Amino acid sequence: MSKLKTIVAVAAIGALMTSCQVKTLQLTNNPIGSKTGKASALPFQKEPNFTFKKAAENGKISKIGSATFTVTNYVVFGKIETEVTGE
């Protein structure tokens, strides 16, 4: 039973140390559009590329309307993601 309590305690502490930050930016006067492109960077990635340009290329977007930048932290490791919308 004490192992179960330890596992639950570790999971609870890990959940409390998890966070997420989202920043939405309006970049241009272009319409928001229906296309979406994403680019992300994970821990220990050799050459992370999470730029607006890379996200637009992934979504085949030529005119960016808006962009969202998200940082998610999981205890020690994190993930950075850029999402753009446009036409």
- DSSP class of residue 31 equals -
Residue 82 lies in a domain: yes
Q: For the beta carbon of residue 67, count every other beta carbon within 10 angstroms.
A: 20
* pLDDT score, position 26: 66
Instruction: Say whether pLDDT at 60 is over 90.
Output: yes
Instruction: Say whether pLDDT at 61 is over 90.
Output: yes
Domain that holds residue 68: 19-86
- The secondary element (H helix, E strand) that includes residue 52 is helix 52-58
In this prediction the pTM is 0.71
Instruction: Say whether pLDDT at 40 is over 90.
Output: yes
* pLDDT score, position 85: 92
Residue 43 lies in a domain: yes
Residue 4 lies in a domain: no
Residue 78 lies in a domain: yes
* pLDDT score, position 36: 94
Residue 76 lies in a domain: yes
Q: What is the domain count for the chain?
A: 1
* pLDDT score, position 1: 66
